[in-house]
Amino acid sequence: MNRVFLVFTLLVLLVFGVQARAANTDLAGHYVYVPERSASVDQAVEKTVAEVNFVLRPIARSRLNKTNQPYQNITLGVSGGKASITTDKRAPIVAPVDGKPIKWKREDGEIMDLSMQWQGKGLQETIAADDGKRVNLFELSPDGNELRMLVTVSSKRLPKPLVYTLVYQRQ
């Protein structure tokens, strides 16, 4: 009886694992930014830097504004245990979805740790530098026509994380 239970349990896990992977591949596609359905990044930055020391506030505001410009286009791909994210005209970021960090060089030459992993049906991309990290969680709307990008930027230099959501329409 224990053997039958074990086989049944393994089959259930296998079926749900296959369904989860299939649901995750639904993220694959090309998406275009919808500013009128997205949060204002400028307002989110202002809310975050409001508690920063007034001397450092302009520096914090400038840095956050520079690194948090909404992408106009996002293309997501999922294949063979890896995900790729292409934003605007940048080179694709390709990483395994096992959560293990890889070294990634940003356009400005800064090298950071980047990891990707599944969070339910969403894909979480984490970019970590010495002074903080950014987590992008990509999730589909229930009808699959919108991609929501939930962004959280945290740093020991900020009194609280910068948090906002951007919306993209599937093309």
- Domain positions in the chain are 2-170
Q: How far apart are CA 62 and CA 58, in angstroms?
A: 6
Buried b (16+ CB within 10 A) or exposed e, 27-66: bebebebeeeebbebeebbeebbeebeeeeeeebbebbee
pTM: 0.84
Query: What confidence category does residue 40 fall into, taking pLDDT thresholds of 50, 70 and 90?
Result: very high
pLDDT tens per residue, range 85-124: 999 989 999 999 999 999 999 888 999 999 999 999 999 9
Given CATH 3.40.50.300, say whether it is the number of domain 2-170: no
Mean per-residue pLDDT of the chain: 89
Q: What percent of the chain stands above pLDDT 70?
A: 87
One-letter amino acid of 39:
A
Strand partners, 170: 31
Q: How far apart are CA 43 and CA 39, in angstroms?
A: 8
Q: What percent of the chain stands above pLDDT 90?
A: 82
Work out the average pLDDT over 46-70: 96
Work out the average pLDDT over 45-70: 96
CA distances from 2 to 5, 10, 11 (A): 5, 12, 14
